[in-house]
A and B are shown apart, each in its own frame.
Chain A
Amino acid sequence: MIYSDIAIAAFGVAVMVDLFVFKNSMLTRAAFWTSYAIILPFQLLTNWWLTSRNIVMYSPEAIIGVRICSAPVEDLLFGFALVLSVMGMWEFWGRRGMQRH
């Protein structure tokens, strides 16, 4: 369940960095959660495509074995960490005055 372990760690690090390192948290903003609510169905759809067609396959030992829309549940943590950290960086550079508008 090594994918599970790394996915949980990535999720935890992304959340901690957002809350405690970046001065302006995404997790407290309606704009973030609305964006994530839009992204999530698309993640489930594209993940379903990649996994149900066996384009991407997982070692049974790497995952906990729970699947959502054919994809390992770990993908949700991975996707959340990716989306949160990229949006956090986008916000970070804007805060520093880079290409705000």
Chain B
Amino acid sequence: MKQWSYMGMLIFTLCGSGWLEIVLKTGVLRRIKRAALSILPISTLFLIWDAYAISKGHWFFDREQMLGIVGPLNIPLEEYLFFIVVPLAAILTIEGVTTVKPHWRKGEFGE
């Protein structure tokens, strides 16, 4: 179980934000193209930073608390997923907020 410690945090974040899609019908997953184009350019920048920081030892991981799958640039799988799951949670959150408070959509898209 110990090797699921980091993955558990990601699953928690996915569940903690994913219910908004189901209960509030935020429709973010339906708009997957817009979500991907919002997340991937930013994730790429942060993963470059991650790769640099890992290579320089600014931060490091307890490999016993991770699944042990390491991707390109010596970045663990969990870190790659972090930069998909967390941004997705952020989009789900703001869409959840504007679903509950539709008048806050005023000003959206500059309208």
Interface residues of A (CB under 8 A from B): 2-3, 6, 10, 23-24, 28-32, 34-35, 38-39, 42, 46, 49-50, 53-59, 62, 82-83, 85-87, 89-95, 98-101
Can you spell out 11 A-B residue pairs with CB atoms less than 8 angstroms apart? A3-B58, A23-B110, A29-B104, A34-B101, A46-B12, A46-B13, A55-B61, A56-B61, A89-B39, A94-B108, A95-B110
From A2, A54, A92, A99, contact of B62 by CB (8 A): A54
Using known A-B contacts A55-B6, A59-B58, determine if residue A91 contacts B108 with beta carbons closer than 8 Å.
yes
Main secondary structure of the interface of B (DSSP, over half): helix
In whole angstroms, how far apart are the Cα atoms of A62 and B62 in the complex?
18
How many of chain B's residues touch chain A, expressed as a range? 35 or more
Q: In the bound complex, how far is the Cα of B93 from the Cα of A35, in angstroms?
A: 6
- Pick the contact of B109 from A39, A56, A82, A91 — CB < 8 Å? A91
How far is it, in angstroms, between the C-alpha of A53 and the C-alpha of B109 when the chains are bound?
A: 42
Contact status B62-A57, CB under 8 Å = yes
Would you call B72 an interface residue if the criterion is a C-beta within 8 Å of the partner chain's C-beta atoms? no
Kindly list chain B residues whose C-beta atoms are within 8 Å of the C-beta of A28: 107
- A93 adjacent to B34 (CB under 8 Å): yes
B60 near A57: Cβ-Cβ < 8 Å: yes
Take A31-B104, A39-B90, A53-B65 as given contacts and tell me if A6 and B27 are in contact as well, using a CB distance cutoff of 8 Å: no
Alpha-carbon gap, A47 to B79, bound state (A): 13
Distance in angstroms from B15 CB to nearest chain A CB is 11
A63-B87 Cα distance, complex, nearest whole Å: 24
